[in-house]
Amino acid sequence: MSGLQRIARPAAASPDWSRLAVRARRLGALRRWSLVGFLTLVSIPILLPFFWVVVISFSARTGGVDSAVLWRACAVLVPCVLGYAAAHVLFPARQHRMVSAVVATAVAVAGLWLLVGSDLHLDNYRFLVSPNLVEEIRGAATAGGQFPWVWNAFFNSLAVAATSMAAKVTIATLAGYYLSRFAFRGRSLFLQSLLILEVFHPWMLTIPIFLVIFWVGLLNTLSAPILVLTVIDLPFFIFIMKGFFDAVPWDIEMSAMTDGATRRQAFWHVVLPQAYGGIIAISVLGFIRGWEEYVFVTALRTGNSYWVMSTYLYYVAEDVMGVDYGLVAAVSVFYMLPSLLLYLFLQKYLTQLTLGGVKG
């Protein structure tokens, strides 16, 4: 027995901590780098088309795209963007990120200048300044003045997106608060029916919606898509906002009321500020929904009564130019820009959505 113990003891001696630590560090590094590598590989096919569009919009000349330019430009841009992404992940400090952004931009500009500098031009963006694009291309007779200046479509899109967003946010916020705070008869039924509505894809309702809009007399007006888009998104947005309000402690509101606030003041000063995350999130989602809408803006007009960016892009791509890739790409970039900027500046709030509420 005692012999056995003597043999067993050395195995139980204190382990080689430094060796274990080295191994753990190596494993950790390996894991981290394989993850980064994997994400990079996956993101290349997703990123490439975006770069193509951007590069094409600055390089294509009437008649076609020089694919050599395309590849050379992407060979510069993709590594720069991925490099910055990696830097963003690895450096949590703001200055470091700024520095890497500057470096990446400088490298990209220099690389582009060297490789494709002579091929870049702004010609495809002339649609931004010339009101009669089609007539310039096809001659005055062709389009009959029907095709608008892009800014017309831009501001229409803006109106649709902004107005429906404002309506959605206001209604969803108030309804979400009410559903979260007040017990009324039929509340659970109401919540259930909100969920049921999500089962139907709105496109299934295109024809009834068309009929309703027709009877109401809003056909061929911008109010039609604004109204429809608002209604379609509301159930889901109400749910989101209810979730945010549910997360606001009840006693804070009561405290405000004992401090002399009316219910409305308590809502305004104390409850609402804690749901800002939700409001920003649904604002962005709601805006982008309106900005990108195609189906209902086309379904609810019978002629060319109004133009928005999506119909403008479609027209540019399909009807007029056919093969002018440069113009299509330029319009796409212009169309993409607002959504992209919104996402970039507000992504912090959008990620909160998945967490399903606010932190205290």
Binding site for other proteins (CB under 8 A): 249, 251-252, 254-262, 265, 269-270, 273-274, 360
CB of 344 to other proteins, least distance (A): 25
List of residues 6+ apart from 349 with CB closer than 8 A: 276, 277, 280, 281, 284
Q: Could you tell me the two tokens for 235?
A: 């159930």
In the bound state with other proteins, the residue whose beta carbon lies nearer, of 209 and 256, is 256
Q: Could you tell me the two tokens for 147?
A: 């095709």
In the bound state with other proteins, the residue whose beta carbon lies nearer, of 165 and 266, is 266
Cα separation, 166 vs 173, whole angstroms: 11
CB of 189 to other proteins, least distance (A): 20
Q: Residue by residue, what is the 3-state secondary structure of 32-67?
A: HHHHHHHHHHHHHHHHHHHHHHHHHHHHCECCECCH
CB of 188 to other proteins, least distance (A): 16
CB of 71 to other proteins, least distance (A): 51
In the bound state with other proteins, the residue whose beta carbon lies nearer, of 271 and 330, is 271
Cα separation, 245 vs 358, whole angstroms: 9
In the bound state with other proteins, the residue whose beta carbon lies nearer, of 257 and 280, is 257
Q: Is 312 helix (H, G, I), strand (E, B) or coil?
A: helix
CB of 271 to other proteins, least distance (A): 10
In the bound state with other proteins, the residue whose beta carbon lies nearer, of 117 and 273, is 273
In angstroms, how far is CA 180 from the centroid of its own chain? Answer: 28
In the bound state with other proteins, the residue whose beta carbon lies nearer, of 185 and 201, is 185
In the bound state with other proteins, the residue whose beta carbon lies nearer, of 5 and 258, is 258
Q: Collect contacts of 326-329 with beta carbons under 8 A, ≥24 apart.
A: 326/56, 326/57, 326/59, 326/60, 326/61, 326/62, 326/65, 326/123, 326/124, 327/124, 327/127, 329/52, 329/53, 329/54, 329/56, 329/57, 329/60, 329/124
Cα separation, 30 vs 207, whole angstroms: 56
Q: Give the DSSP per-residue string, 123-143.
A: GGGGGGT-TTHHHHHH-HHHH
CB of 258 to other proteins, least distance (A): 5
CB of 231 to other proteins, least distance (A): 31
Q: Could you tell me the two tokens for 270?
A: 């104390």
CB of 186 to other proteins, least distance (A): 19
* Positive/negative CA dihedral, 178, 180, 182, 184: positive
In the bound state with other proteins, the residue whose beta carbon lies nearer, of 274 and 311, is 274
CB of 274 to other proteins, least distance (A): 6
Task: End-to-end CA distance of the chain: give it in Å, rounded.
Answer: 60
Cα separation, 73 vs 66, whole angstroms: 11
In the bound state with other proteins, the residue whose beta carbon lies nearer, of 144 and 273, is 273
